[in-house]
Structure 1
Amino acid sequence: MKNSILKRSIIVISILLLIICAFSCVYAADENPSEVTMETLSKNGIVVHYPSNWGYSESTSNYSFMALSKLSSIDSFGVGQVNINFEKKPIEGEFYSFVNDTYRSMQKDSSFELISSGGLMISNIDAVEYIYTSTENGVEREHKAVWFEKGGQAYVMMYSAPTADFENDLYIFDYMLSDIQVT
């Protein structure tokens, strides 16, 4: 019994340290940390918290219901080059088959390269993660997409950035993913 309590305590402490570290990273990334605050956005049963040096932006996807971008990366069309996009699509068939078929069809494009895929949990929901690269208009981008099912719909939260910039802001996506609320 003591081992069980000890293991739970270690897990809780580890989670708290990760959250503290994520907040520290958000503040450390900005030149003037006193000006960065945490903002909240809620739409379609999804609640996320993000740093104020990110903001709402346009999306190029027809399925998008919410898009956030690093403010300094938003172009003249309002689309962020470093962004986190939230999409919702009707599921055709079984969820995992639907998601896997999506990436199987993308692999027909020679500019698509799958880096990794696997399962994870977000907000106590089973999810699937895909990390891949693609090239569009001569720009290679890296993407991290996390899919989950809610109410017969497939939801995806996807971080995308030019390959050279991908690692710089990945911690923002990872923090948002660890803190997401699905209602």
Structure 2
Amino acid sequence: MNKILPLMAAMVMMVLVSGCITNEDKANQTNNFSQNGVSFQYPISWGVASVTSPNGVAAVGDPTTVVNGNPTTSVVIQKANVTTGAALKTAYDLNYAQFFNNTGKTKVSEAEITLNGAKVYENVYTSSEEGVAKKYRAVWIQKGSTTYVILCSARTEAYDAQQANFDLVVNSFQAT
């Protein structure tokens, strides 16, 4: 009996440790999106969503957050509606010149950052649409003569917890 207890305890520990390793591996798995001239990685638990925004080229989202047929946690890739070849900073500034005037959107922050060696612009804001309060992160990237906006969004209370997922998409984004 004295020899069986330590053996059983060791077996339980092995099962617990292997379960932790398995769950961690699944949490780090990703899917790859490659269509419409763009590619990026996104969380394995998310799915490809319908693109309904103007100039949208891709959308992915968390299916567990669907409200009114759309995921509240999502990333949408759009081609910015700017003059072809316009400087990125000019396009960004023109877009946000009137964006927050009487729109119900509130600016949280904006920044000029470096992403994969390139200068990009980021605007974080909040808005409430259809009774859902959300926080958005718009990252403006120029690839060749095309300007892309990567729009990450989630319910305000869930936004901070989604940063790793948003970073995964933003950091892996490529235009082909």
Superposed pair shares fold, TM > 0.5 = yes
Over residues 50-100 of structure 1, what are the superposed CA-to-partner deviations in whole Å (9 max), with x where a residue is unaligned? 2210110123312211000012113463x2111011001342344312211
- Aligned residues between the structures: 153
Give how far 1:109 is off. Answer: 2.4
The match for 1:8 is none
The match for 1:46 is 38
Relative distance call for 1:38 and 1:107 in structure 2 (3 A) is same
SS at match of 1:175: helix
Determine whether 1:86 maps to 2:95: no
SS at match of 1:84: strand
Relative distance call for 1:157 and 1:35 in structure 2 (3 A) is same
The match for 1:159 is 152
Please report the TM-score for the alignment, with normalisation by the length of structure 2.
0.76
Aligned positions of 1:61-72 closer than 5 A? 61-72=53-64
Determine whether 1:132 maps to 2:125: yes
**Structure with bigger gyration radius:** 2
One-letter amino acid of the counterpart of residue 60, structure 1: T
One-letter amino acid of the counterpart of residue 74, structure 2: N
1:123–1:182 Cα contact (<8 Å) kept? no
One-letter amino acid of the counterpart of residue 113, structure 1: T
- In 2, Cα distance between equivalents of 1:57 and 1:51: 13
- In 1, Cα distance between equivalents of 2:131 and 2:107: 18
Question: Deviating runs (4+, > 6 A) in structure 1?
Answer: none
Determine whether 1:74 maps to 2:66: yes
The match for 2:134 is 141
Q: Name the % identity.
A: 23
SS at match of 1:53: coil
- In 1, Cα distance between equivalents of 2:124 and 2:88: 18
2:88–2:140 Cα contact (<8 Å) kept? no
The match for 2:3 is none
Determine whether 1:173 maps to 2:166: yes
The match for 2:48 is 56
- In 2, Cα distance between equivalents of 1:132 and 1:97: 20
- In 2, Cα distance between equivalents of 1:48 and 1:155: 13
- In 2, Cα distance between equivalents of 1:179 and 1:126: 15
One-letter amino acid of the counterpart of residue 33, structure 2: L
